[in-house]
Amino acid sequence: MIPAERLKGIDAFVTTADAGSFTAAAERLHLTNSAVSKSVARLEARLGTRLFERTTRSLALTEAGAAFYRTCVQVLADLGEAEAVLAAQRMEPVGRLRLDTPLAFGRLQVWPLLLQFSEQHPGLRPHVSFSDRFVDLVDEGIDIAVRIGGPDHWPPALGHHYLGSEKLIFCAAPAYLARRGTPATPADLLAHDAVLFGRADGSSNPWLITQNAGPAERWTMEGRIVSSSAEAQVEAVKKGCGIAQLATWLIRDALANGELIALLPELDIDGLPLNLVWPRGRQLLPKVDAMLELLAQSLRID
């Protein structure tokens, strides 16, 4: 249980920081200047630290005050959102929804679903980050994350839902195959141009090759074109720049309409697992629960 004493003065402190003076804060709160000033002073005394640097002409947050302000703003926002949830009888998804998703997968697979979802629920305010970096869900206030790859065992504080594993296949454009020929064996791949996924350090992902039901071998190729963008990699293959090993979710439409041709199906291999991940406590919110249900149904890889 949180003692009521801890909540005293927070509203006055945040309003003063936002307004820039006790006088302006008093007007916003419909209180006297003295009442606001004393409320903040009592808060400082209870915390044992100064929150504001005061001069006759200005009022500025101290370093400790700035850190405390960020926490208080989040607390007040959470309280406001909790009230909105109760007002909606805990049925309608409302409020700010934070999602984090890998760049290409998020833009191609998650973004259309989110736009549809937000249109159906006008009280929702989605905030989406597209990033291939590791994100700490709790520290960065993420409600739901889509993960390609990840640990074998997730921390107890995080819920997760397995969507399946991506499938990696070799493919090329018809024009490239007409010009260079179609590889018939794994060894034939060595004579072809490779379009690879690369990283900022100058390295590139190897091709994963399975032969005779053995373990996957890592073939390090000299890429004709190397890109750190999976979507740019697809475009290069479509333009006839070479052969690539790509996830089927990335090229599903291009395979269906004939822009790309699948090669050597015996070399198809499972890639990284896909998971939905979320802080367990957040699933109680209607916005998180409803979005998880939609993503779990729509993103499943069979």
Q: Is the pTM of this model over 0.75?
A: no
- Report the candidate in 203, 201, 242 with the shortest Cα–Cα distance to residue 225: 242
Please report which confidence band the pLDDT of residue 302 belongs to, taking 50, 70 and 90 as the band edges: low
Within 185-263, strands assigned E span 194-197, 207-209, 217-219, 223-227, 244-247, 261-263
- Check pLDDT > 50 for residue 13: yes
Is residue 142 one of the residues assigned to a domain?
yes
Q: Is the pLDDT confidence value at 1 over 60?
A: no
Give the per-residue pLDDT at 75: 85
Same domain, 264 and 171: yes
Specify if 36 maps to a domain: yes
C-alpha Rg value of the chain to the nearest Å? 27
Contacts of 179 (CB under 8 A, 6+ apart): 240
- Helix H, strand E, coil C: the string for 140-206 is CCCCEEEEECCCCCCCCCEEEEEEEEEEEEEEECHHHHHHHCCCCCHHHHHHCCEEEEECCCCCECC
Same domain membership, residue 116 and residue 81? no
In a domain, 46, yes or no: yes
How many structural domains compose the chain? 3
Residues 280, 259 share a domain: no
Together in a domain, 36 and 110: no
Same domain, 147 and 77: no
Q: Does any domain span residue 136?
A: yes
Same domain flag for 68 and 205: no
Interhelix angle 22-29/10-19, nearest 10 degrees: 120
Based on the fold, state whether residues 39 and 111 are members of the same structural domain. no
Q: Are residues 198 and 257 in the same domain?
A: yes
CATH number at residue 45: 1.10.10.10
CATH number for position 120:
3.40.190.10
Q: How far is CA 87 from CA 73, 129, 239, 245, in A?
A: 21, 28, 54, 50
Residue 88 pLDDT exceeds 60: no
Among 136, 149, 158, 152, which residue's Cα sits nearest to residue 105?
Answer: 149
Is 233 contained in some domain?
A: yes
Whole-number pLDDT of residue 231: 93
What's the rounded Cα separation, in Å, for the pair 171 and 265?
A: 10
Same domain, 36 and 50: yes
**Residue 148 is assigned to a structural domain of this protein:** yes
Boundary residue ending a domain (87, 111, 146)? 87
Domain boundary among the residues 32, 62, 87 is at 87
Residue 93 is assigned to a structural domain of this protein: no
Q: Same structural domain for residues 173 and 263?
A: yes
**Same domain (yes/no): 257, 199:** yes
Q: How many CB atoms lie within 10 A of CB 229?
A: 14
Name the least confident of 2-11, 73-82, 185-194, 203-212: 2-11
The answer as to whether 94 is a domain residue is no
Q: Same domain, yes or no, for 155 and 286?
A: yes
Place of tokens 């804060």: 25
- Amino acid at the residue 230: A
Domain, as residue range, for 238: 166-272
Rounded (5°) CA angle 250-254-257? 150
Give the CA dihedral 19, 21, 26, 27, nearest 10 degrees: -60
Q: For 127-150, what is the mean pLDDT?
A: 87
Is residue 294 scored above 90 in pLDDT? yes
Residue entry with tokens 């249109």: 119
Residue range 138-155: mean pLDDT, rounded? 86
